[in-house]
Amino acid sequence: MFGKVVVFGVGLIGGSFALALKAAGEAAEIVGFGRRIGSLTQALELGIVDRAGFNVGQEVSNADLVLIATPVGKTAEIMARIAPCLGRRTLVTDAGSTKGNVIAAARVHFAARLGQFVPAHPIAGAENSGALAARADLYRHKQIVLTPLPENRPEDIARVRSAWACCGGLVRELTAAEHDRIFAAVSHLPHLLSFALVHELTRRDNRELLFGFAASGFRDFTRIAASHPEMWRDICLANRTALLDELDHYRSELDELREALQRGDGTSLQATFDIARNARREWAAGQANE
């Protein structure tokens, strides 16, 4: 059970966290901060937050828990604002899709109080964003990755873990480096590849003809190319090293496939497709069982 919980960013991610904690009866009071007065008003009207915050120092100094759920590019700025006024018992967590850069910023801004920050990444999202899209069950059965720091006390990690678990999430721990490599491979790279395909087609003189014949395979492959450009720019830059590494692995794979195709090597192509299909099916079967 938490007393006051302060949420920076009352959109899909922060709003759903607030709704889930309230639904679980785990937060006495939720205060929301937002960049736009419209979002804050909406969050109040929807009962996502109990109050809109205006004075950061006042709200944060006696908060039990602070969630930073702004776009990754704004995280450092929020850290700089809350660091001087953190209460001694106040814990901070975040929801950023990349962890190395968030922790680097935390080291700078929280300094001696770094131990009060327990980094997190909820693996949940949706096509829509904003307070209207927030739902109490967004995190239900979703994985929540914590990347605790050597400076965190075990009891503080446990407390932040409990907050995410109360939202219905399945909490797991990784190091920040593991996290960033894993998500470069299974999330950031696919987004980059999908954006690349659609962008490349828009450069053609016959683009209207091409899009006119695109069907269900294209639809699935490019669904993530409709993702938020600013958010994905920030993620790519924040996780640049791991993403470059994944991109190079992938380009080697494409080079091999290109060679097989060039020499008409159907056996190699089919073997590659077979392995991929089996792995994809096994993965999907595992997802269905969860």
Q: Which is nearer to its own copies, 36 or 199 (CB)?
A: 199
Write the interaction track for its own copies spanning residues 170-209; mark x where CB under 8 A is met and - where it is not.
--------x---xx-xxx-xxxxxxxxxxxxxx-x-xx-x
Q: Which of 26, 236, 242, 289 binds its own copies (CB under 8 A)?
A: 236
Q: Is there binding between residue 153 and its own copies (CB under 8 A)?
A: no
**Are 16 and 131 within 8 A, CB to CB?**
no
User: Nearest 5°: CA angle at 47, between 46 and 52?
Assistant: 100
Q: Which of 138, 145, 146, 166 binds its own copies (CB under 8 A)?
A: 145
Write the interaction track for its own copies spanning residues 248-287; mark x where CB under 8 A is met and - where it is not.
-xxx-xx--xx--xx-x-x--xx-xxxxxx-xxx-xx-xx
C-alpha–C-alpha distance, residues 197 and 222, integer Å: 8
**Are 94 and 119 within 8 A, CB to CB?**
yes
Instruction: Give least dist CB 16 to its own copies, A.
Output: 15
Instruction: Give least dist CB 165 to its own copies, A.
Output: 18
Write the interaction track for its own copies spanning residues 43-62; mark x where CB under 8 A is met and - where it is not.
--------------------
CA-atom Rg of the chain in angstroms: 21
Pairing of strands 120-122, 143-146: antiparallel
Write the interaction track for its own copies spanning residues 10-49; mark x where CB under 8 A is met and - where it is not.
----------------------------------------
Task: Please give the residues from 84 up to 143 whose contact with its own copies meets the rule CB under 8 A.
Answer: 123-125, 142-143
